[in-house]
Amino acid sequence: MCRFLVKTLANSQRLFGSRRTLPRHLLHQMTALAIPAFALLVSQTLCSKPLKAESNEPPNIVFILSDDMGWSEPGFNGGDPELTPNIDKLASQGVQLTQFYAHSVCAPSRGALLTGRYAFRNWMDWRSEDFGKPSYLKKLGLTLAKNERGEETRRIHALATDEQTIAEMLSEAGYFTSITGKWHCGEWLPENLPMGQGFDHQYGHYAWGIDYNHYTIPHNAPAKYAVYDWHRNQQPLQEQGYTTDLIANEVVRLLTERSIANMQQDANQPFFMYVPFNAVHGPIEEVPRYTDQYPARQAALKCLDDAIGRIIGAVDQNGFSNNTLVVFANDNGGLTEEMNHPFRGTKNTTFEGGVRVPCVMRWPGRIEAGTKNDGLMHLVDMLPTFAKLSGGTVEGPYKIDGMDMSDVLLKGKPSPRTEIVFEVGGSVRLPTIRSGDFKLMGQALYNIKTDPTEKNDITAEHPLLVKKLTDRLNQLSAQRPPLGEKTLLMDPPLPYVYGQAENKQAPDWLVDLVETIRKTQPAEWAPGETPWPQAPQGATMKYTGDGR
Ligand SMILES: [Ca+2]
């Protein structure tokens, strides 16, 4: 709260004299109106302002991240345009980044986005839940931890708190910051939750996925594994609805609140709204709409597109269009090669199908509409780019990997990036590096420019380059910090709700709901079986379950 007050005060001073001032009598009349009418009036008042005068203000940023969407699922990449009309419309209004990369699985990508650093640098290439899985722990020479009562449990692993996050950087620059959706950077200790990592407002879930309708998640416990994981401002939240719709509802509400707050405070505090949807990650079970027309996953995709359309509609209706950078990206490739067509590979592999993701950015009047840019870009580049646009300062204790891409986006200049580090030694996936047109993945070398579908291993033709890139990967692997002791444990091993403090005071309704669901779940797993897929073998990953 203290940080928020200091920040708000600083921001008010910084923005004193903002042009967004309405006459007092008009403001008084307007506050008596219902929110929709008010928002419409705001929209009409602000939209008519000349674009150029806005250009030096720090932009609002709405960063929408889908989960496990395949490269070719949006219409603009060859998918069925009936499923993604709103995402396609956004692409037509901005720039499509055709070589935008992520890491190959959820948590590493989120850590990279938040810190501007590759996942291996802070062990975010290991997910929090991996520290509860014997087959993963074995790769680190570890076994399942036991608590004082001798019960097997998870070692606590999360995004380190000494990192500067994108939310902390923008907060320092005077922004209101919110996360609405999936966190996946630590689900237990308070300091590892979003409001301990720079977000003023939190809504959504902490862990790898969620049941879209009941807000529980399979925990990697031996059995009876449902854990509740739906929260607002880090308190358990009892709701009804489909999470894709609920996330959009919250963002629309926040946008309207920001619009009204700006008017009432005679100030224009910029905002960063991070909107990591859980869609279209599994488990996909009951989908509320479109299932009469499409299979469940496509219906879920269309619901996601509806939600994105509502959020962009609220950006526009509240008069934020011209001073808001809207980004749509995805965190990793889809579960099947078909979803990632024409690329090879899936989520959890570093083939192009696992790491090249759809990305569009819209900022009317600043980013040329309907354009494409094939410059190399990675999620790590967002932090320094947003710092440049916001007037913020990159000041964490570590050197970041990200590069400022503002001139690429706003001036059409070539990307300064020539290298992307996807994985190094010590990961469960193959060490992989992109250098110029080439990509070394384990022992295989591909020319991504001439062979984007990675059909031809050309190691034999380029022995010197293979040696050079292998040396580079070895050099980077040596930069991985020590893991540390990992003595903190999740206790109890199977909580009712994620969030240590929330679980201590779990309300009756929550306990009853979780107990009801657990009664439907297996008492124990068959020997050798787990509810999660095993670690990738070499360059491939076979998904038979819900995509963890
Ligand atoms: Ca994902």
The answer to the question of residue 79 being in a domain is yes
Residues 411 and 285 in one domain: yes
Contacts of 208 (CB under 8 A, 6+ apart): 106, 107, 127, 128, 129, 182, 184, 217, 281, 548
User: Measured between alpha carbons, how far is 29 from 36 in angstroms, rounded to an integer?
Assistant: 14
CA of 102 to the centre of ligand 1 (A): 10
Dihedral sign from CA coordinates of 386, 389, 391, 394: positive
pLDDT at position 371: 97
Determine which helix (DSSP H) or strand (DSSP E) holds 326, and give its type and residue range. strand 324-330
Residues 356 and 453 in one domain: no
Q: Total domain count for the chain?
A: 2
User: Measured between alpha carbons, how far is 266 from 392 in angstroms, rounded to an integer?
Assistant: 22
Residues 196 and 290 in one domain: yes
pLDDT at position 80: 98
CA of 503 to the centre of ligand 1 (A): 26
* CATH code of 380's domain: 3.40.720.10
pLDDT at position 546: 67
CA of 84 to the centre of ligand 1 (A): 19
Per DSSP, the three-state class of 3 is helix
pLDDT at position 539: 81
Return the DSSP state at 192.
Answer: G
The answer to the question of residue 142 being in a domain is yes
pLDDT at position 542: 79
Per DSSP, the three-state class of 269 is coil
Residues 300 and 182 in one domain: yes
Dihedral sign from CA coordinates of 127, 129, 134, 135: negative
466-522 residue pLDDT tens: 999 999 999 999 999 999 999 999 999 999 999 999 999 999 999 999 999 999 998
Whole-model pTM? 0.90
Residues 341 and 362 in one domain: yes
User: Measured between alpha carbons, how far is 497 from 205 in angstroms, rounded to an integer?
Assistant: 10
The answer to the question of residue 466 being in a domain is yes
Residues 344 and 445 in one domain: no
Q: What is the DSSP string of 135-181?
A: HHHGGGT---EE-TTS-EEPBP----TTSPPHHHHHHHTT-EEEEEE
Residues 199 and 132 in one domain: yes
The answer to the question of residue 351 being in a domain is yes
CA of 282 to the centre of ligand 1 (A): 9
The answer to the question of residue 30 being in a domain is no
User: Measured between alpha carbons, how far is 311 from 181 in angstroms, rounded to an integer?
Assistant: 13
User: Measured between alpha carbons, how far is 194 from 113 in angstroms, rounded to an integer?
Assistant: 14
Residues 306 and 377 in one domain: yes
The answer to the question of residue 524 being in a domain is no
* Residues within 5 A (CB) of ion ligand 1: 67-68, 106, 331-332
Residues 69 and 114 in one domain: yes
CA of 106 to the centre of ligand 1 (A): 4
CA of 453 to the centre of ligand 1 (A): 21
The answer to the question of residue 525 being in a domain is no
Q: What is the DSSP string of 26-72?
A: HHHHHHTS-HHHHHHHHHHHHHTS-SGGGTTSPPEEEEEEESS--TT
Contact 137, 165 (CB under 8 A): no
334 is in which domain, residue-wise? 57-417+490-518
Residues 359 and 472 in one domain: no
pLDDT at position 135: 86
pLDDT at position 544: 73
Stretches where the chain sits below pLDDT 70 are 1-55, 545-548
Residues 229 and 253 in one domain: yes
Residues 139 and 287 in one domain: yes
